[in-house]
Chains A and B, each alone.
Chain A
Amino acid sequence: MMDLFSSFDPSSGIMALPLNWLSTLLGMLFLPYILWAMPSRWSFVWASLLDTLHKEFKILLGKGKATGTLMFVSLFSIIVFNNLLDLLPHIFTSTSHLTMNLSLALPLWISFMLFGWVNNTKHMLAHLVPLGTPGPLMPFMVLIEVTSNLIRPGTLAVRLTANMIAGHLLLTILSNAMVSMSGIIILSTLLISQILLLLLELAVAIIQSYVFSVLSTLYASEVD
Chain B
Amino acid sequence: MGFGEYPAEYNPKVHGPFDPARFYGKPDIPFGEVKLGEVGSWLGRRSIGGLPSALSRAFWRWQHKYMLPKKTGIAPFCQLAIGAVTFFYVINYSKLKHHRNHKYHW
Contacts and interface: CB of A to CB of B under 8 A. Distances in A.
Interface residues of A, number: 27
Contacts of B102: 179
Contacts of A23: 84, 88
Nearest to A89: B85
A172 to B, nearest CB: 12
Contacts of B20: 35
Interface of A is mostly: loop
A30 B80 contact: yes
A33 B106 contact: no
B6 interface: no
B8 to A, nearest CB: 22
A26 B83 CA distance: 11
Interface centre among B71, B77, B81, B92 (most CB of A within 10 A): B92
Nearest to B97: A13
Contacts of A6: 95
A36 B63 CA distance: 12
Interface of B: 20, 63-64, 67-72, 77, 80-81, 84-85, 88-89, 91-96, 102, 106
In the A-B complex, the 3 residue pairs with the closest CB atoms: A13-B94, A12-B91, A90-B88
Interface of A: 6, 9, 12-14, 19-20, 23, 26, 29-30, 32-33, 35-36, 38, 40-42, 85, 88-92, 179-180
Given A88-B85, A89-B89, 11 more contacts: A13-B93, A33-B67, A35-B64, A35-B68, A38-B70, A40-B69, A41-B71, A42-B67, A90-B85, A90-B89, A179-B102
28 contacts: A9-B95, A13-B95, A13-B96, A14-B94, A20-B88, A20-B91, A20-B92, A23-B88, A26-B84, A33-B63, A33-B67, A33-B68, A38-B70, A40-B67, A40-B69, A40-B71, A41-B71, A42-B67, A85-B84, A88-B81, A88-B84, A88-B85, A89-B89, A90-B88, A90-B96, A91-B84, A91-B85, A91-B88
